[in-house]
Structure 1
Amino acid sequence: MRHVAIAGFSLALLLFGALEWAARREGSRIPTFGDVCAYVMRYEVGPVPVGRIALFGFWWWMGWHFFAR
């Protein structure tokens, strides 16, 4: 089961790298990871920075589930 999880994470990382590479080609209409993060960080509902809170919550969740063990 551990090998399946490692293979899944490796595949996800490989696909992420391929998508980022495709986004950085000249004339590409695919946004880069940085562009997506910048768009999310700018999202607000009134005075509440919902995008920043969501990104912080996502990183907290990732750290809690994968790095705190």
Structure 2
Amino acid sequence: MTRAFAVAGFALAGLLMVAVELAARREGSRVPALGDVCGYVMRYQVGRVPVGRIGILGFWWWLGWHFFAR
């Protein structure tokens, strides 16, 4: 039963992401698209250290570790 709740939660999160992306792509929308948010995060630096890129890399590592390393 717990696995069904987890799958349903991830499916709901995916559907919400799609809904937000569709809302962002409407004419005159003030909601940023996912690509715009990722571009903003990737540009973030502290001095010469690309903290945003390191954060995105860490997120992808975490995601892969939890879902594909079984």
CA distance, structure 1, for counterparts of residue 55 and residue 14 of structure 2: 22
| TM-score with structure 1 setting the length | 0.97
Tell me which residue corresponds to 2:12: 11
Tell me which residue corresponds to 1:36: 37
| TM-score with structure 2 setting the length | 0.96
Task: Confirm or deny that 1:51 pairs with 2:52.
Answer: yes
Structure 1: state its 5+ residue gaps.
none
Q: Deviations over 1:31-51 (max 9, x none)?
A: 000000000000000000000
Percent identity (aligned): 71
**AA of the residue aligned to 2:15:** L
Structure 2: state its 5+ residue gaps.
none
Q: In structure 2, the residue corresponding to 1:11 is in which secondary structure?
A: helix
Aligned Cα root-mean-square deviation (Å): 0.5
Structure 1 residue ranges (4+ consecutive) displaced by more than 3 angstroms after TM superposition: none
Number of matched pairs: 69
Q: Shift of residue 2 of structure 1?
A: 1.0
